[in-house]
Amino acid sequence: MNRKNYRFLVLNNDLKVLLINDHDLSRCGAALKVEVGSANEPSDIPGLAHFLEHMLFFGSQKYTSPNLFFDFVGKN
């Protein structure tokens, strides 16, 4: 029996989120799709997309070291 629940929502910053709850699984996961890259960056700032990629996962005010975000997801 497939016991998945789906919920779609849009956050205050317009980020679209799809939550999938599968009662048959004992683990969780997270995925992020950012539909921009080096082809979208200004020509006078090469490497901006790569820099922002690092900002997503390698430290922020809340997750100050590279593994804190992944540790949080793994524990929750």
Catalytic, 35? Answer no
Given the residues 49, 53, 59, 63, select the one marked as catalytic: 53
Question: Please, how many CA atoms are within 13 Å of residue 15, restricted to the half-sphere of its CB?
Answer: 10
**Contact predicate 20/3, CB 8 Å:** no
Active site residues: 53
